[in-house]
Structure 1
């Protein structure tokens, strides 16, 4: 049983002094969801009439039906949600971060808090006694494609009052996920986070999260990017959806006119970096993926770690590519290896273009 009132301390690499308590590299806000991960045959998706390769919102009844039909499959649990995955990977790299999301006092909620704390992330929440903790069923097929069925449940009740303003002010960056624009109160919490961050010279980073999110909230995303965002994260599909462009290069060029620093992943090719209008493609690390779950979240974690440690944008993208290359060789969105202290080894020889 987790101690809901306990505050965990930041984790730091050996040899570094402890910074003042409650001082963070990144302050994350997102949907707190327990990932339920299963490997399945593609025919399961066809039988269930599930669209492959995207995130679909489902109600509790539909989620229950899917889980019942998966009862014979081996499943793994992880504390998740897009922004939460990013915070965990930042901590793995050696950064300090805290995360705000909403769970309840049910079994999944208790698991979520303990799992986040075990991963080295301060998880801030005022748990509700009513309702259910959100879940995301992650179905991975042999081609490493992941399909997500998400029941947001209590996570949609996250609101402005849940944001710890003092911790936000003491952070270098905030990181907000686009999935939060699917709910009214979560949207308000995100807007408050961005507004307070800008007022206190805290950098604002924002991920577009999913092409469906972009299509639902395109005009709002464009406005937010212009008004508040210092760093954009997206993949090529999201960039194309936002820009209406036909090529990745055109998409990143469009977004670069809205925001001075843009990171757009391009699969095995690596990631585009647009800094003050200058666009470069930072190469990735060749691997044979077994599960792409959390790849974009891991990339964002690597980039944010780099930016908060004073790396250049391109060097940060290179580290982001490495973290993402490690995560696609794992089952689920959690690394089984520690990356803290490996930056010099991995980035030796890399030069900005």
Structure 2
């Protein structure tokens, strides 16, 4: 029986990132010999991982991964790509559900270019990835920015594989019950990892304006701040969290628990470039706000993202616009929230297939999968795939 390896290697990823492996494991566990590998950097013990997956897990060192030959390897972590031998067919499961306004004009291509296939659920992600990877590979052909040796080439045939959202593939048929209380309103603040946003665009750099706008518009609001899991160790963020925690209406979420638990506590979420804002909407049918300062709009990736999302997501460019959005949210009925959710879901994921079907097909057919959104050659040349149905972003 063919062996498929599933790698859990996201630094301090906890169960949140471990769960990206679930649909692949469920799709393949009865057809192949699946071996789930967990490294020490994940913050999850073998027992915890086995409990979450309902499947045996092996704790391994990276050297074990380096030694694998001629297998299908499915990873929830892009950094491990350089450790995977060239003989393997390597698959990366992209994080989040949509593209994001990040600072990297190559859109993480220095990492994901090492994989043979990238499984992702969104048209906006594919558009940003295609532009970023084309630029990256064209520049790589001119000069090599990475002087150190690598086991794998980042100039390879890479297939982008479409799927419904990996962690929440089902669309909600009706708006879920959401009781409102006139004296309770929780605003989740969800900054993405430090260094991801362009200069000046991080929520940590705009925290005063954001909090002032929230409290001006919703004086009784409480704030739940959830820094990115690896950022608690950063001195600047540690100091800011200590200062903010002095206010009785601000809570710092240090649990590092599942994202779903955080979403359930919030009436809305404000983020900068975290796909958690969209995940919040897909889980709850409630609306997030993406705070993208006007000064960052000239960045090529941010500008492209704004054009994609201006009619699909609530976006604030300053404190005044944030206040207007929060006021508007208070006027919307649950059915209106749901209509916005449905429109977004169709725009980003319409026509895509369940992840279990996608992973079965990918392991069997590899680059010949029916679910190719596009395929990119080593020199950046692109061939559109059979699953590139048009969806309006107007």
TM-score range, shorter chain: 0.3 to 0.5
User: More relative contact order in 1 or in 2 (CA 8 Å, sep 6+)?
Assistant: 2
- When normalised by structure 1's length, the TM-score is 0.33
TM-score under structure 2 normalisation?
0.31
Structure that is richer in strand per residue = 1
Structure having the higher Rg: 2
